[in-house]
C-alpha cells in the first residue's frame, strides 16, 4: 500500500502498437506427455528450478491465514505444522472444508511427493507451513457484525503468527468495510499488523478480485504495513478483475494457477489475487532463506527493487504497484538491501506519523526487527507491461504484441479515505468470491487452457 501523491502510469502499463514486442510462438505440450508440473506454468516463468539450485526456502516458516491446511494431501505431507483454529467448526486447523487454504499452502511449499505425473510443486518447497484457520462462511455475509467479527479474528490470527517462528504471513483473503462503517479496517487490525512488523514479520495479502466491478478496498491488503498483491497473467498483463488502487504494492502470477488441494484428484486450478499472494510469500521465503540475516525490511526492499520496471529506480502505479515480482533476479542480483530498520513502503511511516500514540506501540517493539522468528472473508477468488512480460514460449512463428492497456479511475493514494466513497459492495465476501471458486481439475490437458512457458532467460522482457 502507498500513500504518496499519484504518479503517472509507467510505460510498461501503456503498451501500444507502436511499441510492439516480438514474442515466441506458443506450442502446446502433447497431452500424452503432460504432467501436473508441466501445467504449472508459473514455475517455469519464475525460473523455479534454477532458483532451487541456490535455495528452496529451507529454514523459513510461512503462516497461512486461511480456511485451514490439510496436512494429509500427498504433496504437503511433512510440510505442515500445528497452528491455530479460530473457526469454531468441527475439526481443527488441519481440517479444510473449503480447500482454499490447502491450495495456497501448496503453492508455497508443495514438494511434488505425489509422483512425477501427478505431483505439484510449490515455489519454495523447503519451507514449512503454519496454518491458522479463520471462520468459514456460514451466514451473515456483508453485515456490520460479520465484518467486525472477521476483523477481530484476523487481528488474533496475525498476532498469533507474529508470536510464532513464522517470518512470512500469507493472507489470500480480504473483506471490505460495510458502506459508511469502519468495521473491517479497524484500529485493532492496524495495531495487529504493526505488532507483527515490529516482531520482524512480512505480511502479504490479496487485494481482491472485484476490479471490474466495485473495486471496493479490502482489508488487510489496505492496512498500512501489509504488502498488497495483485494478479497478472502469463504475459504479465493485469488480470481483468484484479483490484487496483493505493493498496497495490506488488503483482505476481495469478492466471490459471495449478496446485494441490484436498478435493477429488487433489489437483485444483484457479485465477485471482489469492494465488498471486501465495507466490509473493514464497518468493520472500526464498530470499530470506538465502539471506537469513536480513530483516523483513531488507527482504521486501529487494523484492521491490528487482520487480519489473525498476531498473532505473523505484516507481509504482495503482495496477501492479512497484511491479511484477522477479525472485530469480532478487536472488542473483539483489542490489543493496538498504537499511535494516526502515520499512520500504511509505504507508507505514505515514500511519505512524499520523498516530504516534497507537495502542500497538505498547507491544510492538522497534519496527523492523530481525524477523527471528462470522463471517468469512473472501478467499480472493482463486478463482502491464512493456517491461514486464511473461514470454510465452516454444516452437512457432513470432507474433507482435501491441495491445494497449488503459488504466482508468486510478484513485488518490491515501488509504485513509472513507470507504463510503466506494460503491456499495455485494453482500457476500466484501467483493470476493467464496472459497469454493477454486475448482478441482483432472490431470488432463483439456481441462484448463494450455499453460505457456517462458524461455527468455531474463523474465519480463528485461535485458
Looking at residue 380, what is its pLDDT?
52
Please check whether residue 174 lies inside any domain of the structure: yes
Please check whether residue 49 lies inside any domain of the structure: yes
Mean pLDDT, the chain, rounded, equals 75
| pLDDT of 450 higher than 70 | no
Point out the catalytic residue in the list 274, 364, 385, 445: 274
Mean pLDDT of 78-94: 95
Q: For 380, which DSSP code?
A: -
* Stronger pLDDT, 451 or 281, i.e. the higher one: 281
Mean pLDDT of 232-252: 96
* Stronger pLDDT, 371 or 9, i.e. the higher one: 9
| pLDDT of 93 higher than 90 | yes
Contact assessment for residue 170 and residue 103, using Cβ atoms and an 8 Å cutoff? no
Mean pLDDT of 168-197: 95
Point out the catalytic residue in the list 2, 13, 42, 100: 100
Grade residue 144 by pLDDT with cuts at 50, 70 and 90: low
CA distance 34 to 38: 6
Point out the catalytic residue in the list 66, 85, 249, 317: 66
| pLDDT of 452 higher than 70 | no
Q: What is the CATH number of the domain that holds 375?
A: 3.40.50.200
Looking at residue 146, what is its pLDDT?
83
Mean pLDDT of 415-428: 27
66 part of the active site: yes
Please check whether residue 304 lies inside any domain of the structure: yes
Please check whether residue 3 lies inside any domain of the structure: no
**Which cell numbers in the block locate residue 459?**
523474465
Please check whether residue 141 lies inside any domain of the structure: yes
CA distance 61 to 126: 9
* Stronger pLDDT, 415 or 283, i.e. the higher one: 283
**Which cell numbers in the block locate residue 219?**
482489508
The tally of domains found in the chain comes to 1
Of 57, 46, 68, whose CA–CA distance to 131 is shortest? 68
**Which residues neighbour 362 within 8 Å (Cβ) at sequence distance 6 or greater?**
none
Helix axes 273-290, 296-305, angle to 10 degrees: 120
* Stronger pLDDT, 93 or 385, i.e. the higher one: 93
Contact assessment for residue 440 and residue 222, using Cβ atoms and an 8 Å cutoff? no
Give the range of the structural domain holding residue 304, as residue numbers without chain letter: 11-461
Of the listed ranges 6-20, 75-89, 185-199, 226-240, the least confidently predicted one is: 6-20
100 part of the active site: yes
| pLDDT of 421 higher than 50 | no
Amino acid at each position: 500500500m502507498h500513500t504518496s501523491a499519484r504518479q503517472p502510469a509507467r510505460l510498461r502499463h501503456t503498451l501500444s502498437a507502436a511499441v510492439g514486442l516480438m514474442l515466441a510462438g506458443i506450442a502446446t505440450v502433447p497431452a500424452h506427455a503432460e504432467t501436473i508440473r508441466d501445467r504449472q506454468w508459473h514455475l517455469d516463468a519464475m525460473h523455479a528450478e534454477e532458483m532451487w539450485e541456490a535455495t528452496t526456502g529451507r529454514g523459513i516458516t510461512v503462516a497461512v491465514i486461511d480456511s485451514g491446511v490439510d496436512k494429509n494431501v500427498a504433496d504437503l505431507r511433512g510440510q505442515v505444522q500445528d497452528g491455530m483454529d479460530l473457526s469454531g467448526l468441527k475439526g481443527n486447523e488441519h481440517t479444510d472444508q473449503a480447500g482454499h487454504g490447502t491450495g495456497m499452502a501448496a503453492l508455497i511449499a508443495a514438494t511434488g511427493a505425489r509422483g512425477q505425473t501427478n505431483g505439484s510443486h510449490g515455489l519454495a518447497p523447503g519451507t514449512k507451513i503454519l496454518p491458522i484457520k479463520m471462520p468459514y462462511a456460514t451466514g451473515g455475509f456483508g453485515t456490520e457484525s460479520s465484518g467486525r467479527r472477521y476483523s477481530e479474528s484476523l487481528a488474533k490470527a496475525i498476532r498469533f503468527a507474529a508470536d510464532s517462528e513464522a517470518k512470512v504471513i500469507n493472507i489470500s483473503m480480504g473483506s471490505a468495510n460495510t458502506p459508511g462503517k469502519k468495521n473491517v479496517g479497524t484500529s485493532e487490525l492496524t495495531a495487529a499488523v504493526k505488532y507483527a512488523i515490529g516482531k520482524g514479520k512480512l505480511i502479504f495479502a490479496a487485494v481482491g478480485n472485484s476490479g471490474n466491478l466495485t473495486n471496493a478496498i479490502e482489508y488487510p491488503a489496505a492496512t498500512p504495513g501489509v504488502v498488497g498483491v495483485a494478479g497478472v497473467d502469463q504475459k504479465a498483463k493485469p488480470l481483468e478483475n484484479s483490484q487496483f488502487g493505493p493498496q497495490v504494492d506488488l503483482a505476481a502470477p495469478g492466471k490459471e494457477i495449478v496446485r494441490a488441494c484436498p478435493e477429488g484428484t487433489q489437483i485444483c486450478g484457479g485465477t485471482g489475487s489469492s494465488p498471486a499472494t501465495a507466490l509473493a510469500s514464497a518468493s520472500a521465503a526464498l530470499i530470506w532463506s538465502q539471506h537469513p540475516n536480513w530483516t523483513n525490511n531488507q527482504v521486501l526492499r529487494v523484492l521491490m527493487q528487482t520487480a519489473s520496471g525498476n531498473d532505473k529506480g523505484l516507481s509504482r502505479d495503482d495496477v501492479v504497484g512497484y511491479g511484477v515480482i522477479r525472485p530469480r533476479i532478487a536472488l542473483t542480483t539483489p542490489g543493496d538491501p538498504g537499511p535494516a530498520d526502515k520499512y520500504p513502503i511509505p504507508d507505514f511511516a505515514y500511519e505512524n506519523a499520523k498516530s504516534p500514540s497507537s495502542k500497538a506501540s505498547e507491544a510492538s517493539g522497534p519496527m523492523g526487527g530481525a524477523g527471528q522468528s462470522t463471517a468469512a472473508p473472501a478467499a480472493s477468488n482463486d478463482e502491464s507491461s512493456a517491461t514486464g512480460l511473461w514470454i510465452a514460449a516454444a516452437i512457432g512463428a513470432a507474433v507482435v504484441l501491441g495491445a494497449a492497456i488503459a488504466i482508468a479511475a486510478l484513485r488518490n493514494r491515501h488509504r485513509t479515505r472513507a470507504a463510503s466513497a466506494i460503491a456499495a459492495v455485494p453482500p457476500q465476501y466484501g467483493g470476493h468470491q467464496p472459497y469454493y471458486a477454486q475448482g478441482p481439475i483432472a490431470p488432463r490437458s483439456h481441462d484448463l487452457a494450455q499453460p505457456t512457458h517462458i524461455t527468455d532467460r531474463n523474465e519480463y522482457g528485461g535485458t
